[in-house]
Homo-oligomer: A and B are copies of this chain.
Amino acid sequence: MSEYNIAIIGASGYTGGELLRLFYFHKNVTVSYITSRKHKGKKVGEVFSALGNFYPDLEFSSISAVPDNIDYFFLALPHSVSMLHVRRFLEIGKVIDLGADFRIKDIDKYEKWYGMHHEKDLVNNAVFGLPEIYRDDIRNAKLIANPGCYPTSVILGAYPFYKENLINGEIIVDSKSGVSGAGRNPKENLHFPEVDSNFYAYSVNGHRHQLEMEQELKAEIVFTPHLLPVERGILSSIYIRTSKSLSNKQVEEIFKKYYSKEFFIRLSGNKSPALKDVRGSNFVNIGWSVTGNLVKIFVVIDNLVKGASGQAIQNFNLMAGFPENTAIDNLPLFP
Interface residues of A (CB under 8 A from B): 14, 17, 21, 24-25, 48-54, 170, 172, 174, 176, 178-180, 184-188, 190-202, 204-206, 222, 224, 226, 228-233, 235, 237, 239, 266, 268, 270-280, 287-289, 291, 294, 296, 298, 300, 330-335
CB-nearest residue of chain B to A189: B186
A273 proximity list for chain B (CB < 8 A):
49, 200
A170 x B294 contact (CB < 8 A): yes
A298 x B204 contact (CB < 8 A): yes
Shortest beta-carbon distance from A171 to chain B in Å: 11
Q: In the assembly, what is the distance between CA of A194 and CA of B335, in Å?
A: 6
A335 proximity list for chain B (CB < 8 A):
14, 17, 180, 193-194, 196, 231-232
Q: Select which of B197, B201, B270 is within 8 A of A276 by beta carbon.
A: B197
A272 x B204 contact (CB < 8 A): yes
Q: Select which of B25, B188, B196, B332 is within 8 A of A196 by beta carbon.
A: B196
Q: Select which of B204, B226, B228, B280 is within 8 A of A270 by beta carbon.
A: B204
Q: Select which of B187, B192, B291 is within 8 A of A195 by beta carbon.
A: B192
Q: In the assembly, what is the distance between CA of A291 and CA of B275, in Å?
A: 29
Q: Select which of B198, B224, B287 is within 8 A of A274 by beta carbon.
A: B198
Q: In the assembly, what is the distance between CA of A17 and CA of B276, in Å?
A: 13
Shortest beta-carbon distance from A130 to chain B in Å: 21
Q: In the assembly, what is the distance between CA of A50 and CA of B281, in Å?
A: 10
Other A-B contacts than A51-B331, A172-B172, 13 sampled, CB-CB below 8 A, are A17-B335, A21-B334, A50-B277, A172-B239, A186-B187, A196-B230, A197-B230, A199-B230, A200-B273, A204-B272, A228-B228, A228-B229, A232-B335
Q: In the assembly, what is the distance between CA of A273 and CA of B51, in Å?
A: 12
Q: Select which of B188, B196, B237, B294 is within 8 A of A174 by beta carbon.
A: B237
A-B contacts, 28 of them at CB < 8 A, read: A14-B335, A21-B334, A49-B274, A52-B266, A174-B237, A174-B239, A186-B186, A186-B190, A191-B191, A192-B195, A193-B232, A194-B276, A194-B335, A196-B196, A196-B335, A197-B231, A197-B233, A198-B276, A199-B228, A199-B235, A200-B272, A200-B275, A201-B235, A205-B289, A222-B294, A224-B237, A280-B280, A330-B330
